[in-house]
Amino acid sequence: MNKTETLITGLKQIGIEYNKTQFDKLELYISEIELWNKKYKLVGADGETLIIRHVLDSLSSIPELKKLKFMTAADVGSGAGLPGIPLSIFFPDVHFTLIERSGRRAGFLRNVLGLLNITENVSILESDLDEVKTKYDLVLFRAFRNLVDFYESLIKIKTSDGCLFAYKGKIDIIESEISKLKNKNRVDIIKAYVPFLEAERNFCILY
């Protein structure tokens, strides 16, 4: 399959319905990442690997996110805009804030928002996590670092009835991290399905 076929098949397998405008925005977004990837070191992948490991991975949460109620969302450590930008295309009524401390990557994100014409429901906050003052209904992060290291900073930007939503890997590592957390309430671990990806992926939702 080529990149377009991989994206179409992946969206179908996740169960995401889309229109031409949404699909065109996704393709334009992918092309911008590939165009600027080497200069800004956005992601460690290109071609079909970029689509699978980053774009489809980001979108794989949609079936679970649709079960939650949120009007504001923060993508912490957004980097190339993942998962915030792909998700914003399918949640146009939610305001997404992309939190990114790197000025160069924040500049890339500003350019992308303009190209995709999504500035009405997506904004960029160039800041360290510890300096963020706003609270959000949904706090998203694709966390490959240990959750324990920044859990306290994350819960400070969550609304009282909101949740943290982490894209994580192996369940045994997640359970080990959760066991070390203090001040945690309800925690759900949900197996994620990412088309074409063999690696184990799970969502960890902390309320």
Phi, psi angles (nearest 5°) of residue 140: -100, 145
> Which residues of the chain fall short of a pLDDT of 50?
none
Largest CA distance in the chain: 47
Predicted pLDDT of residue 117: 97
Task: Check residue 148 and report its DSSP letter.
Answer: G
Residue 19 pLDDT: 98
CA dihedral 189, 82, 59, 124 (to 10 degrees): 100
Check if the beta carbon of residue 6 is closer than 8 Å to that of residue 52. Answer: yes
Q: Where are the domains of the chain?
A: 3-206
CATH class of domain segment(s) 3-206:
alpha beta
For residue 6, what pLDDT is reported?
Answer: 98
Q: How are the residues of the chain apportioned to helix, strand and coil, as percentages rounded to the nearest 5?
A: 45, 20, 35
Buried (b) or exposed (e) across 76-107, using 16+ Cβ within 10 A? bbbbbbbbbbbbbbbbeebbbbbbbeeeebbe
pLDDT of residue 62: 98
pLDDT given for residue 184 in this prediction = 83
Q: What local confidence, expressed as pLDDT, does residue 185 receive?
A: 87
Q: Residue 183 has what pLDDT?
A: 81
User: pLDDT at position 182, please?
Assistant: 86
